[in-house]
Amino acid sequence: MKTTVNGAQPDVATSSCWRALKLLAERIRDDSGPVTSCSLLIGEDPHVCVGPESLAAGDGWPVTVIVDPATQDHLPALVPGETRYLLDELIVMRRLADGGLPAAASALIELYVPYCLASLHARRMKRAFTVSHFAQSLDGRIATRAGDARWIGCEENRVHAHRMRALCDGILIGAHTLRTDRPALTVRHAEGSDPIRIVLGGAGDIGCLERAGSSAIVLIGDDLGPSSAQVEHVVLPRTNGRIATTAILEELYRNDILSVYIEGGATTTSTFLSEGNIDVLQLHISPMIIGPGINSFAGPSIQSIQDSVRFDPHVYRSVGDGMMFVGRVAS
Q: pLDDT tens across 260-318, in order?
A: 999 988 999 999 999 999 999 999 999 999 999 999 998 888 999 999 999 999 999 99
DSSP assignment letter at 65: E
Q: Which residues of 239-260 are buried (b: 16+ CB within 10 A; e: fewer)?
A: eeeebbbebbbbbbbebebbbb
Distance between CA atoms of residues 94 and 294, nearest Å? 36
- In DSSP terms, 323 is beta-bridged to 285, 318
Distance between CA atoms of residues 184 and 181, nearest Å? 9
**CA angle (256 as vertex; 207, 188 as ends), nearest 5:** 45
User: 16-20, 51-55, 132-136, 322-326 — which is least confidently predicted?
Assistant: 51-55
Which residues of the chain does CATH 3.40.430.10 include? 126-329
For residue 15, pLDDT over 90 is answered with: yes
Asked if the peptide bond before residue 292 counts as cis, ω within 30 degrees of 0, the response is no
Q: Which residues of 111-130 are buried (b: 16+ CB within 10 A; e: fewer)?
A: bbbbbbbbbbbbbebebbbb
Closest CA to 39 of 61, 59, 18: 61
Distance between CA atoms of residues 94 and 280, nearest Å? 18
Closest CA to 58 of 84, 76, 38, 79: 79
Task: Work out the mean pLDDT of the chain and round it to a whole number.
Answer: 91
Q: What is the CATH number of domain 126-329?
A: 3.40.430.10
Strands (E) located in the chain: 37-42, 47-50, 61-66, 83-88, 92-97, 129-136, 141-144, 170-174, 196-200, 217-220, 231-234, 259-262, 280-285, 293-295, 311-319, 322-329
For residue 4, pLDDT over 50 is answered with: no
Distance between CA atoms of residues 134 and 296, nearest Å? 7
Per-residue pLDDT, 223: 61
Per-residue pLDDT, 226: 66
Q: Are 203 and 213 in contact (CB under 8 A)?
A: no
The model's pTM: 0.93
Task: Return the amino acid letter for 209.
Answer: L
pLDDT tens figures, 177-225: 998 889 999 999 999 999 999 999 876 789 999 999 999 999 998 766 6
